Chains A and B, each alone.
Chain A
């Protein structure tokens, strides 16, 4: 039980985020109106995804150093969870964009970058599928995972900032924190980031444990 306190924290934080995010006071913004509450769900999902992918890259690096198949499995599951988060981020973003920008998938550099980023990691899944030898699969896909993360970061953080984007924080716009996020919103936003990240770690942990049990049964 001592080890599982963070799961309780995740549940508490996310319950708080869902209730207070939907009920709590928010600043009135012209076009955003009530849809500003999506900041509590859409943005933390992306933050969570980047954190999960970073962890996956770190575990890939650890695999290359140790050769322990466990590390490779952890990296895979973190990538899978991150892909799910990315998909949810796209969905919540689409709903939001539909109401504020007029269409579900506007031609925006950040969206396109993220779509390419998803392709990058889907290619990772395909790459894993095309090996028979397990050690070789683990080693080569670890190499690719690290490489993919190094490409992913400039893709989503640097490229959109150099062009005009609808997203705040890009194309010379100030980041959202500076003008439309007041302290009341931060009280929900930061817990949401932590909560969603913990949820991702939790999902990953369950998947890794399932894998461990399956491997044990096969033996």
Chain B
């Protein structure tokens, strides 16, 4: 057990080193989310603090959704086929998917954190229950990373994978997104936390289903 944990750790370290070596990709993603936030800010005619909470919240999650799809989509295409074959020989598929999901979760957390800070900075911060909002960001990062990593694996095996990534991931991500919107909306309005507990439990359940399925199904994709 500890041996496989150590291997997952090594694989994750590899992901981080790889990302760090290709810093332009990482910087690209960070700039992407900041740019998207700024486009929204200018499109709303720079009227800070005048957005209704629903618009504020929805636009934020849509920005996050698109950055997530863009960020996760490259998790299987940035390495060459030969190197993937090498991983295939040295690690089990379960370790690969776990390390990729963990890595993507960290990436999503960074993106969501940065997105939230810049978004609140330029468009005003109407959130009344910040801890709950942050919780929804964390749950969202885990769910996005879990479901999108598997979809990215599927899409990378096909031709025209960019289009496929989008059409496969929108419907898959939607139940998750709807739950997240609802939780974050209650956090925004500062409603009592007991009101969101149903949604949080459902979200945790969806996250769990998605993660378990990714673990079960990934070996079949990996083999081809």
Partner-A contacts on B (CB < 8 A)? 147, 150-151, 154, 157-160, 164, 167-168, 170-172, 174-175, 178-179, 182, 198-199, 202, 205-206, 209-210, 213, 217, 220-221, 223-224
Is the CB of A127 closer than 8 A to any CB of chain B?
Answer: yes
Q: Which 7 A-B pairs have the closest CB atoms?
A: A120-B171, A130-B158, A119-B171, A143-B217, A155-B175, A123-B167, A136-B224
List residues of A (132-151) whose CB comes within 8 Å of B's CBs.
Answer: 132, 135-136, 139-140, 142-144, 146-148, 150-151
Cβ–Cβ < 8 Å partners of B158 in chain A: 127, 130-131, 140
A127 near B154: Cβ-Cβ < 8 Å = yes
> Which listed residue, A120, A139, A151, A158, touches B224 by the CB 8 Å rule?
A139
B198 near A151: Cβ-Cβ < 8 Å = no
> Which listed residue, B168, B199, B221, B224, touches A162 by the CB 8 Å rule?
B199
> Which listed residue, B205, B223, B224, touches A154 by the CB 8 Å rule?
B205
Partner-B contacts on A (CB < 8 A)? 64, 113, 116-117, 119-120, 123, 126-127, 130-132, 135-136, 139-140, 142-144, 146-148, 150-151, 154-155, 158-159, 162
With A and B bound together, what is the CA distance between A130 and B168 in angstroms? 12
> Which listed residue, B150, B164, B178, B199, touches A147 by the CB 8 Å rule?
B150
Known A130-B160, A135-B224, A144-B154; judge A120-B206 contact (CB<8 A): no
Complex: chain B residue closest to A143, CB-CB: B217
Complex: chain B residue closest to A118, CB-CB: B171
B220 near A119: Cβ-Cβ < 8 Å = no
Complex: chain A residue closest to B224, CB-CB: A136
Interchain nearest-CB distance for B56 vs A (Å): 20
Cβ–Cβ < 8 Å partners of B223 in chain A: 139
B168 near A144: Cβ-Cβ < 8 Å = yes
A-B contact pairs, 29 of them (CB 8 A): A64-B220, A113-B175, A117-B171, A120-B171, A123-B167, A123-B171, A126-B164, A127-B164, A130-B159, A131-B159, A132-B159, A135-B224, A139-B220, A140-B154, A140-B158, A140-B220, A140-B224, A143-B150, A143-B220, A143-B221, A144-B168, A147-B150, A147-B151, A148-B171, A150-B209, A151-B147, A151-B210, A154-B202, A159-B178
Interchain nearest-CB distance for A215 vs B (Å): 22
Cβ–Cβ < 8 Å partners of B224 in chain A: 135-136, 139-140
> Which listed residue, A116, A123, A146, touches B168 by the CB 8 Å rule?
A123
Cβ–Cβ < 8 Å partners of B174 in chain A: 116, 155
With A and B bound together, what is the CA distance between A162 and B203 in angstroms? 12
Known A116-B174, A119-B170, A143-B154; judge A154-B221 contact (CB<8 A): no
